[in-house]
Amino acid sequence: MEAQKVEQLQAFVAYCRSNPSALHHPSLSFFTDYLHSLGARIPPDPTPVSASSSLCSGLIAGVHVTRLVGSHLSLPIRCLLLVFNRDLKGHMKMESDSGTAAAEEDYVGEKFDRAAESAGDEDEIVESDLELDGGELVVPDDDDPPQKMGDPSVAVSDESRDAAQACKAKAIDAVSEGKLDEAVEHLSEAILLNPTSAILYATRASVFVKLKKPNAAIRDADEALQINPDSAKGYKSRGMAKAMLGRWEEAAKDLHLASKLDFDEEIDSVLKKVEPNVQKIEAHRRKYERLRKEREMKKAQLERQRRRAEAEAAYERAKKEQTARSKASDPEVNDPAAAAALQDGNVISIHSSSELETKFRAASNLSRLVILYFTATWCGPCRFMAPLYKSLAEKHPRIVFLKVDIDELGDVAHRWNVNSVPTFFFVKNGKEIDKVVGADKNGLERKIALHAGESENQVEEEPVEHAPGE
């Protein structure tokens, strides 16, 4: 024996040794019979597992063996290994088919609900910490009392303006000497003298920036910008103060406006520290906006799939229910004997009155249209119509085609007032509704088309009671 085949056989034996319960599967009965014929003893199944669990174990083990020995297994060994996959699929299909349509619909809804919950859990967005350069952040001056603010409604005289300018000059000298608190006092006195001056508020805001009191600086800058919306110093001081508080995007906006109004190197220096943080924030925001949008799109897609699956399941259930109702209301299902007696697609020769009544009764039970054809063996036109009548029976299997020989059943022909042959009576529920006399091929086909359509749509003409002898 070839070495490769020996190796394959060893792999299969190893598989059976590691999983002896697989030998109890019905699909391997031929193999266990062979082992028994050699006197081998098959160990009992140690764990009574379900069919699906056994098949799953067999499938996993079979795949494992296939990986061990490669893809060049001989056909018999591959069949033994892959039979588990086939049986597993069949078992799963039987379990699926055993449920009711309503259970299937519930399962579909639960499936997509679980998928949506899983998607929500898996895609729950927790924003990561954003590493920013905050080396010059300060503790906000929230506990400091608000600085003195001027009354903008007060009329300012020329003397007050001059005095305010003198206080401002003193403040600038104090700033140059590093006496920032003294400079604030001089500027506050100047603001009280001239509360309509935007430059006084903007200058005091710049001093508060140097004192690392960003909230006070922002209040003064806001006041300056309210008086003069084009105050470059106001935007600069407010932007630098917001940068101290880590409000990077607001700071960048104010600093850019200040730079456009009156560029200086200090603004450019602060922007070089602020803008990298702004870029990180914007990239961070775009990333999580994209992730949130993707999550919403995924949820929306799952919801659409769930609704579509539920609609399909509901449609299938309604279809099955309709089919069941149709079968329950189908007279042929409820009266199979009557259906068998009418020999669909064939011309039935009648040989007795009782047989005719039996056929009429069966046709009535099944709501079938009956064509009663009176003929005679000596009638030439009848011989002409016979092949057509037979082909019409084959073409319309839901119509009952009967044939009566007037020489054989003269009493029946008399009762139906047959004066010539061929004659075709159209009968519904045992009552005549129409007739064709003579070898009128086109007339017969036209009448059949008319009454066959009415029968299918359950539209009937008013039946005419047949009175023998009329």
* Active-site hit among 16, 79, 167, 379: 379
pLDDT average, residue stretch 201-221: 95
pLDDT the model gives residue 35:
80
Q: Which CATH superfamily is domain 336-456 in?
A: Glutaredoxin (3.40.30.10)
DSSP letter assigned to residue 421? S
| pLDDT interval class at 221 (50, 70, 90) | very high
Find the range with the poorest average confidence among 26-40, 146-160, 277-291: 26-40
pLDDT the model gives residue 463:
45
pLDDT the model gives residue 421:
95
CA gap 128, 115 in Å, rounded:
25
Find the range with the poorest average confidence among 19-28, 65-74, 417-426: 65-74
SS3 assignment, position 464: strand
Q: Do domains 158-245 and 336-456 have the same CATH topology?
A: no
Which ranges of 177-264 would DSSP assign to H, the alpha helix?
A: 180-193, 198-210, 214-227, 232-244, 248-261
CA gap 325, 313 in Å, rounded:
18
Indicate the pTM of the whole model: 0.44
Residue 120 has pLDDT above 60, yes or no: no
Residue 52 has pLDDT above 50, yes or no: no
Statement: 158-245 belongs to CATH 1.25.40.10: yes
Active site residue 56: no
Q: What is the mean pLDDT of the chain?
A: 80
* Active-site hit among 16, 79, 167, 382: 382
CA gap 203, 172 in Å, rounded:
9
**Which residues 6+ apart lie within 8 Å of 358 measured at CB?**
341
pLDDT average, residue stretch 244-256: 93
Residue 267 has pLDDT above 50, yes or no: yes
Instruction: Give the 3-state secondary structure percentages of the chain, helix then strand then coil, rounded to 5.
Output: 65, 5, 25
Residue 63 has pLDDT above 50, yes or no: no
pLDDT the model gives residue 468:
40
Contact yes or no for 339/332 (Cβ under 8 A): yes
pLDDT average, residue stretch 7-29: 77
CA gap 5, 378 in Å, rounded:
81
Q: How many CB atoms lie within 10 A of CB 199?
A: 16
Find the range with the poorest average confidence among 101-110, 149-158, 294-303, 391-400: 101-110
Which residue has 């009429």 as its token pair?
A: 360
pLDDT the model gives residue 60:
41
| pLDDT interval class at 252 (50, 70, 90) | very high
Find the range with the poorest average confidence among 162-166, 213-217, 392-396, 456-460: 456-460
DSSP letter assigned to residue 405? E
Find the range with the poorest average confidence among 93-97, 134-138, 271-275, 279-283: 93-97
Domain boundaries, given as residue ranges, for the chain? 3-98, 158-245, 336-456
Find the range with the poorest average confidence among 59-63, 231-235, 247-251, 296-300: 59-63
pLDDT the model gives residue 67:
42
C-alpha distance from residue 203 to each of 185, 186, 247, 388 (Å): 12, 11, 22, 115
More confident residue, 343 or 188: 188
SS3 assignment, position 236: helix
Burial degree of 70 (CB within 10 A; 0-12, 13-18, 19+): exposed
User: For a pLDDT cut of 70, what percent of the chain falls above it?
Assistant: 74
Residue 198 has pLDDT above 50, yes or no: yes
Q: What are phi and psi of 298, to 5 degrees?
A: -65, -40
User: For a pLDDT cut of 90, what percent of the chain falls above it?
Assistant: 53
Contact yes or no for 332/366 (Cβ under 8 A): yes
SS3 assignment, position 463: coil
pLDDT the model gives residue 106:
57
Cα 109 to chain centroid distance, Å, stands at 10
| pLDDT interval class at 173 (50, 70, 90) | very high
